[in-house]
């Protein structure tokens, strides 16, 4: 039975970089590793999520967050058996985004705190109880400076995991106000959910740490969780 670890964070926070670095680290240690980036882009729900992020259903602030949450959760439900198989076959399964991402992004679109709490509970119940997806052993939120996120999202971002956009802009990424609220939601959830742990990616001057130092902090946390 392998360890199931998830990296969470705002768009442009360096999750993909850390997944690659951690994969290399564990493989060099002789471990069998499987990494994956959500959304899957496959099947009914994966394709629906891709269409949503391209803006095919409307702007981020016009689509019902319950609808958005449902299709993101459905994408994980479709991948649940595959995830269980990976957990059985690999020593480490590393994911870039999972259920807390759904929670943070959709709840950040609501201004009323009680409505946020209601949606948060609905999402967690849907994903883990109704859809019965596997629970991670550890979820890590990379808390990074907002100006770093804004700078990264202003770049021409590329990569195989961005094929779903088909040349368009991700509606979540282009909304800086949403990204700030998402960061606030993640930090709030770290206090609410013990299974979501914050890694501070800033130095004493409030600037972004280099990727090697962030990796060291993540590995330290992973090792501590084993004990």
Q: Structure pTM?
A: 0.90
The model's confidence at residue 164, banded by pLDDT at 50, 70 and 90, is: low
pLDDT given for residue 55 in this prediction: 93
Q: Residues 97-129, buried b or exposed e (16+ Cβ, 10 A)? A: bbbbbbbbbbbbbbeeeeebeebbebbbebbee
pLDDT in the model for residue 114: 97
Whole-number pLDDT of residue 174? 73
44-58, 64-78, 162-176, 185-199: range with lowest mean pLDDT? 162-176
Give the tens place of pLDDT for each residue, 58-105. 988 899 999 999 999 999 999 999 999 999 999 999 999 999 999 999
Q: Which domain holds residue 86?
A: 3-226
Identify the CATH number of the domain in which residue 59 sits. Answer: 3.40.50.300
Is-contact 35 92, C-beta < 8 A?
A: no
Please state the rounded mean pLDDT for residues 198-210.
Answer: 91
- 29-38, 46-55, 154-163, 190-199 — which is least confidently predicted? 154-163
Average pLDDT score over residue span 44-52 = 95
The pLDDT of residue 149 is above 90: no
Cα(54)–Cα(99) distance, integer angstroms: 20
pLDDT (0 to 100) of residue 172: 83
- Kindly state the tokens that stand for 6: 């998830």
For residue 170, the tally of other CB atoms under 10 A from its CB is 19
Domain count of the fold of the chain: 1
Interacting residues of 48 by C-beta distance below 8 A, sequence separation 6+? 71, 74, 75
Higher pLDDT, 108 or 150: 108
pLDDT class of 166 with cuts at 50, 70, 90: low
Three-class DSSP labels, 4-68? EEEEECCCCCCHHHHHHHHHHHHHHCCCCEEEEECCCCCHHHHHHHHHHHHCCCCCCCCCCHHHH
């Amino acid at each position: 039975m392998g360890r199931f670890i998830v990296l969470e964070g705002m768009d442009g926070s360096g999750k993909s970089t850390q997944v690659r670095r951690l994969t290399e680290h564990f493989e060099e240690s002789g471990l069998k590793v499987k990494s994956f980036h959500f959304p899957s882009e496959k099947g009914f729900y994966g394709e629906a999520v891709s269409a949503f992020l391209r803006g095919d259903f409307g702007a981020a602030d016009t689509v019902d967050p319950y609808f958005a949450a449902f299709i993101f959760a459905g994408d994980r439900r479709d991948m649940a058996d595959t995830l269980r198989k990976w957990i059985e076959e690999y020593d480490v399964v590393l994911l870039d985004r999972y259920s807390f991402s759904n929670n943070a992004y959709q709840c950040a679109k609501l201004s009323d705190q009680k409505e946020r709490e209601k949606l948060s509970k609905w999402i967690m119940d849907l994903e883990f109880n109704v859809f019965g997806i596997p629970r991670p052993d550890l979820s890590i939120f990379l808390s990074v400076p907002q100006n770093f996120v804004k700078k990264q999202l202003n770049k021409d971002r590329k990569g195989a995991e961005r094929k779903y956009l088909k040349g368009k802009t991700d509606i979540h990424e282009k909304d800086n106000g949403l990204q700030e609220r998402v960061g606030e939601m993640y930090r709030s959830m770290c206090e609410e959910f013990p299974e979501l742990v914050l890694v501070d990616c800033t130095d004493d001057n409030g600037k972004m740490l280099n990727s090697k130092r962030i990796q060291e902090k993540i590995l330290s946390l992973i090792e501590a969780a084993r004990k």
